[in-house]
């Protein structure tokens, strides 16, 4: 059984202006309920940032094992399907509240694979990408997890990826785990920007093994917090257990609206009760 200890909030110091968040938000979506989740979370981030929103849909299905014949009828069917997809996604984008001048929908006849997703992210200069892996069905889950994982890997150290889940509401409670690596410090800084923008309560978590000393871990955790996050007076937590399980447990216990991770994201993405942002 895991145990957790939470310290008193750190001294916030003088108040600061909220730092810039994002300028170009990319939502990767299809005209489905799951696509609606991705668009809603992308819109939430775009509104909070005053950013441009691009909703992208790859309409090619050849990668799923079906290669339609190149006939006039097949071309007409594809064109009709693309028009319907565009109309559905335009409608979803409109509901986000992002101004018309700052949003657009792009439908391309390209395979819905990680290479396509990463390429469009770089083409539109996205500084955050939003996806919503499918949870229903074994095959759908395997395919979605594979595409999500590969997209995250391709955008590694370049563009954060938000794996959206559930209702898109302001991220008032943010959990950010750290393993004291440079990548996890980047996740802490991203959490600081999100926390400042949404007025969030931020909890910083460090998981330790059975032989590690909790007091030493707490002291190291306090020293590792960057100044921009310290200004938000985060709660500091130390929990014993395997890191992935500890993160999911802490997300449930703190009723987190968002988890910001830097490494070991796959289990957290599958099991967390809230969206997961991979920095």
Q: What pLDDT is stored for residue 264 in this prediction?
A: 74
For residue 178, what are the contacts with CB-CB under 8 A and spacing of at least 6? 184, 185, 187, 188, 204, 205, 206, 221, 224, 262
Which tokens is 84 given?
Answer: 């319907």
The answer to whether residues 58 and 129 belong to one domain is yes
DSSP string, 131-143: E----SSHHHHHH
Q: What pLDDT is stored for residue 137 in this prediction?
A: 42
Q: What pLDDT is stored for residue 63 in this prediction?
A: 46
The answer to whether residues 125 and 53 belong to one domain is yes
The answer to whether residues 107 and 147 belong to one domain is yes
For residue 17, what are the contacts with CB-CB under 8 A and spacing of at least 6? none
Rounded to whole angstroms, how far apart are CA atoms 173 and 274? 10
Q: Which among 54, 64, 134, 127 has a CA at the least distance from the CA of 89?
A: 54
Q: Is 244 helix (H, G, I), strand (E, B) or coil?
A: helix
What element of type H or E holds 46? helix 33-49
Last residue of a domain, one of 142, 163, 184: 163
The answer to whether residues 171 and 184 belong to one domain is yes
For residue 131, what are the contacts with CB-CB under 8 A and spacing of at least 6? 28, 38, 117, 147, 148, 151, 161, 162, 163, 164
Q: 138: domain range?
A: 24-163
Last residue of a domain, one of 124, 139, 163: 163
What residues form DSSP beta bridges with 240?
A: 208
Total count of domains within the chain: 2
The answer to whether residues 83 and 214 belong to one domain is no
Q: Domain with 153 in it: what CATH number? A: 3.40.50.620
End-to-end CA separation in angstroms for the chain: 29
Q: Are 259 and 239 in contact (CB under 8 A)?
A: no
The answer to whether residues 111 and 191 belong to one domain is no
The answer to whether residues 141 and 30 belong to one domain is yes
Q: What pLDDT is stored for residue 80 in this prediction?
A: 86
Q: What pLDDT is stored for residue 97 in this prediction?
A: 97
Q: What pLDDT is stored for residue 141 in this prediction?
A: 46
CA 209, chain centre distance (Å): 27
pLDDT tens readout for residues 243-254: 999 999 999 999
Q: What pLDDT is stored for residue 7 in this prediction?
A: 42
The answer to whether residues 129 and 228 belong to one domain is no
Q: What pLDDT is stored for residue 192 in this prediction?
A: 97
The answer to whether residues 71 and 189 belong to one domain is no
Last residue of a domain, one of 163, 188, 213: 163
Q: What pLDDT is stored for residue 92 in this prediction?
A: 97
The answer to whether residues 139 and 199 belong to one domain is no
Q: What pLDDT is stored for residue 145 in this prediction?
A: 62
Q: Are 165 and 136 in contact (CB under 8 A)?
A: no
User: Which stretches of the chain score pLDDT less than 50?
Assistant: 1-9, 11-16, 63-64, 136-143
Q: What pLDDT is stored for residue 19 in this prediction?
A: 59
């Amino acid at each position: 059984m895991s145990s957790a200890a939470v310290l008193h909030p750190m001294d916030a110091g003088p108040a600061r202006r909220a730092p810039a968040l994002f300028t170009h938000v990319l939502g990767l979506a299809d005209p489905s309920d799951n696509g609606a989740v991705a668009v809603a979370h992308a819109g939430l981030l775009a509104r909070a940032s005053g950013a441009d929103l691009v909703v992208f849909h790859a309409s090619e299905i050849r990668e799923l094992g079906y290669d339609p014949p190149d006939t006039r009828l097949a071309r007409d069917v594809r064109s009709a399907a693309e028009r319907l997809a565009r109309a559905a996604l335009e409608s979803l984008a409109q509901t986000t509240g992002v101004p018309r001048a700052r949003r657009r929908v792009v439908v391309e006849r390209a395979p819905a694979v990680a290479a396509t997703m990463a390429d469009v992210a770089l083409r539109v200069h996205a500084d955050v990408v939003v996806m919503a892996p499918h949870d229903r069905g074994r095959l759908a889950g395997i395919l979605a997890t594979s595409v999500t994982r590969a997209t995250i890997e391709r955008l590694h150290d370049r563009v954060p990826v938000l794996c959206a889940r559930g209702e898109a509401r302001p991220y008032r409670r943010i959990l950010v785990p750290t393993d004291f690596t440079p990548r996890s410090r980047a996740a802490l800084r991203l959490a600081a920007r999100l926390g400042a923008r949404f007025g969030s309560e931020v909890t910083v978590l460090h998981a330790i093994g059975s032989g590690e000393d909790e007091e030493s871990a707490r002291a190291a955790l306090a020293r590792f917090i960057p100044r921009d996050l310290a200004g938000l007076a985060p709660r500091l937590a130390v929990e014993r257990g395997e890191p992935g399980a500890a993160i999911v447990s802490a997300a449930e216990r703190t009723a987190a609206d968002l988890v910001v991770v830097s490494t070991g994201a796959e289990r957290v993405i599958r099991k967390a009760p809230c969206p997961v942002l991979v920095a």
